[in-house]
Amino acid sequence: MNIRRVLEPLYERYLLMQCTQIPKHIAIIQDGNRRFAKKTGIDVAKGHRAGADKTEEMLDWAHDLGIRYITVYSFSTENFNRAEKEIQELFELFKEKFIRTISDERVIRYRIRIQMVGDRSLLPEDLRTAVEAAEEVTKDHDGFTLSVALAYGGRNEIVLAAREIVSAVREGKITPSAIDIHMVESHLHEGKEIPPVDLIIRTGNEYRTSNFLPWLANGHESAVYFCAPYWPLFRKIDLLRAIRIYDQRLCAKVH
């Protein structure tokens, strides 16, 4: 008998009992796919695929726990500095996964809304088409929302919002005096109504948030949880441990 297989469900239940408050919006920096590939002796493309499969598995956990929004950091603007072969393999993987969501049983059953955040102009046309198809098919889903950050940069998201606001001022649609926090938020992420981040999780034993969702996370003092497992090895137990940190932080603020 595998003792770990027996004990893990018990430990999950123990952790769940300690999580009296579930965060509405969790942002995850999925780090460690390449190191996982190196450690297990597989090529980098298979490491990234293992990470993408883990993201799909996490959708079950989010549904079970009642999390309403998850944003995953899949490809940053800095990642364009990687080898061309790796970038192309990643884009093919993203395209495959977005196309798959259109008929994915899990997406349909949980009524998951799929959307992208990031600079679409930096993506190849075929990937943009796949993203837009997934967004269109799932736009009316009301289960929970999965936002995939592609070609994403924390400062760049604010720059893009600023460009939209400046353009609206030039066109006479708004006055400079009308610009406030709420207006900036309404122009972030192409106007998608994404709520503030309650909890940031970073895997792979890295202790930095890489400027991920700065307006929604740093601006709202979200809780942060760093953990050692590479993203493909992330477990529901790790997610529950992160939620416990969020719960403890909330309780401490109340008292």
Catalytic residues: 31, 79
Kindly list the strands in the beta sheet with 223-226, ordered across the sheet, starting from the edge strand earlier in the chain.
112-117, 144-152, 69-76, 25-29, 199-202, 223-226
Residues 135-140: contacts with CB under 8 Å, at least 24 apart: 137/101, 137/102, 138/101, 138/107, 138/112, 138/113, 138/114, 139/113, 140/113
CA distances from residue 162 to 75, 99, 158 in whole angstroms, order as listed:
22, 31, 6
One-letter identity of residue 55: T
One-letter identity of residue 144: F
**Core vs surface per residue 40-54: b (16+ CB within 10 A) or e:** eeeebbbbbbbbbeb
